[in-house]
């Protein structure tokens, strides 16, 4: 375990433990409203982390991650509603479905050398026509939506993900922690180095013997598969699914804003970005309603301003700057005896 956290300074480890303790204690400290905000934050931290594998690690820009969330939501929800299959078994189906969707997009793009902006457009296109498809997919309710039986908040059933916000909070917290550990391991693996090489310069990566097609395929498939549990989670948390909402491009954009603001390619960026963005926008919403103001589109404007600020002032994201200020990372020195 010491090796796993070797790049964190003592101070960084202390802060990490404190943060984790605070997160674990949150349901006892926060009211119900605050808890739902925290759930939303962790949802964005989780999906941002998954998106970051593709864009931050391997340099492949996806603007259609709502596709993987939506597919997983529908698969798990349909299995539950139609066959009474629980969400954890549903996850075993939903994750492969998302992985296959990612593999199809990846194969078409990388096999036919669709890169950069065109790749991003392809990811949007897939999310969009899936949305249109689900609008007419009557087996899962079409555009009228798919609904899960709403549970009583008095009893918690972890097996069927029926319960109160506290249970959902701990589920998404565990998922986010798991995603963070997985991404951490991936980034420092052999594959992580190859991904970063591809991100930095694909021609140079190929010249060093890296099978870039294979590595990019793995990145898309892991990113899609890692996104899927968030879809299963939201289906059971919100209990309703509308194609118009779950596959909406706005959802895809919301997923990527956190990591961009926090720091693309970093491990804490997606988490910090989610806290900043969702935390601040919810605070603003509260402030506006306390002032009795109804400002439609205020959230979108706020996101725009955040993005503008980060792009201009901290193009690497907020996290690298925070990490320097807090001195949480050791200077990266791998000393070896000569």
Partner 1 sequence: MTASGAAPLLKVEGVSRRFTGLLAVDRVSFSVPPGEIFAVIGPNGAGKTTLFNLIAGVFAPDSGSITFDGDAIGGLPPDQVCRRGVGRTFQIVKPFPGLTVEENVVVGALLRRPDVDTARDHAHAVLRRLDLFDKRTQKAGALTLPDRKRLEVARALATDPKLLLLDEVMAGLRPTETDRMVGILRDLNRETGLTILLIEHVMRAVMALASHILVLHHGATIAEGSPQQVVRDPAVIQSYLGAEAVH
Binding site for partner 1 (CB under 8 A): 188-190, 193-194, 196-197, 199-201, 203-212, 265, 331-334, 336, 338
Q: Which C-beta is closer to partner 1: that of 244 or that of 316?
A: 316
Rounded least distance, CB 219 to partner 1, Å: 15
Number of residues in the chain: 338
Q: Could you give the C-alpha distances from 98 to 74, 211, 258, in angstroms and in order?
A: 11, 23, 21
Rounded least distance, CB 213 to partner 1, Å: 9
Structure tokens at 30: 């926060």
User: Does residue 221 contact residue 103 with C-beta atoms inside 8 Å?
Assistant: yes
- Contacts with 146 (C-beta within 8 Å, 6 or more apart), sequence order: 74, 77, 78, 81, 140, 240, 241
CA distance 220 to 119: 12
Q: Which C-beta is closer to partner 1: that of 136 or that of 336?
A: 336
Structure tokens at 31: 């009211």
Rounded least distance, CB 294 to partner 1, Å: 44
Q: Which C-beta is closer to partner 1: that of 116 or that of 133?
A: 116
CA distance 231 to 227: 7
Spell out a b/e string for 186-200, using b for 16 or more CB atoms within 10 Å of the CB, else e: bbeeebbebbbbbbe
CA distance 40 to 210: 38
Structure tokens at 124: 């949007």
User: Does residue 137 contact residue 130 with C-beta atoms inside 8 Å?
Assistant: no
Q: Which C-beta is closer to partner 1: that of 199 or that of 251?
A: 199
Q: Which C-beta is closer to partner 1: that of 119 or that of 195?
A: 195
Q: Which C-beta is closer to partner 1: that of 325 or that of 332?
A: 332
Rounded least distance, CB 329 to partner 1, Å: 13
Rounded least distance, CB 197 to partner 1, Å: 4
Rounded least distance, CB 112 to partner 1, Å: 15
Q: Which C-beta is closer to partner 1: that of 32 or that of 201?
A: 201
- Say which DSSP state 56 is in: I
Rounded least distance, CB 204 to partner 1, Å: 4
CA distance 323 to 268: 9
Structure tokens at 206: 């190929």
């Amino acid at each position: 375990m010491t090796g796993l956290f070797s790049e964190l300074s003592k101070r960084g480890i202390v802060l990490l433990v404190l943060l984790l303790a605070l997160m674990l204690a949150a349901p006892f400290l926060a009211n119900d409203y605050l808890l739902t905000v925290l759930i939303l934050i962790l949802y964005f931290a989780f999906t941002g982390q998954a998106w970051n594998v593709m864009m931050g690690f391997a340099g492949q820009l996806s603007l259609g991650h709502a596709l993987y969330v939506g597919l997983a939501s529908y698969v798990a929800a349909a299995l539950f509603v139609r066959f009474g299959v629980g969400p954890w078994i549903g996850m075993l189906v939903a994750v492969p479905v998302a992985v296959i969707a990612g593999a199809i997009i990846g194969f078409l793009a990388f096999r036919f050398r669709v890169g950069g902006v065109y790749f991003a457009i392809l990811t949007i296109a897939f999310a969009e026509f899936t949305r249109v498809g689900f609008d007419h997919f009557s087996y899962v309710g079409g555009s009228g939506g798919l609904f899960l039986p709403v549970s009583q908040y008095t009893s918690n059933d972890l097996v069927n993900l029926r319960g109160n916000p506290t249970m959902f909070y701990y589920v998404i917290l565990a998922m986010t922690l798991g995603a963070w550990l997985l991404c951490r391991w991936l980034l420092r693996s052999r594959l992580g180095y190859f991904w970063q090489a591809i991100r930095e310069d694909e021609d140079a990566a190929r010249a060093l013997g890296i099978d870039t097609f294979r590595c990019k395929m793995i990145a898309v498939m892991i990113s899609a598969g890692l996104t899927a549990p968030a879809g299963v989670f939201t289906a059971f948390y919100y209990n309703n699914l509308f194609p118009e909402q779950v596959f909406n491009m706005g959802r895809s954009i919301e997923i990527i804003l956190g990591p961009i603001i926090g720091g693309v390619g970093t491990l804490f960026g997606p988490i910090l970005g989610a806290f900043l963005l969702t935390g601040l926008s919810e605070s603003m919403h509260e402030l506006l309603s306390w002032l009795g103001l109804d400002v439609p589109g205020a959230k979108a404007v706020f996101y725009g301003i955040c993005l503008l600020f980060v792009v201009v002032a901290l193009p690497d994201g907020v996290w690298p700057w925070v990490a320097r200020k807090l001195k949480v990372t050791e200077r990266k020195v791998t000393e070896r005896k000569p």
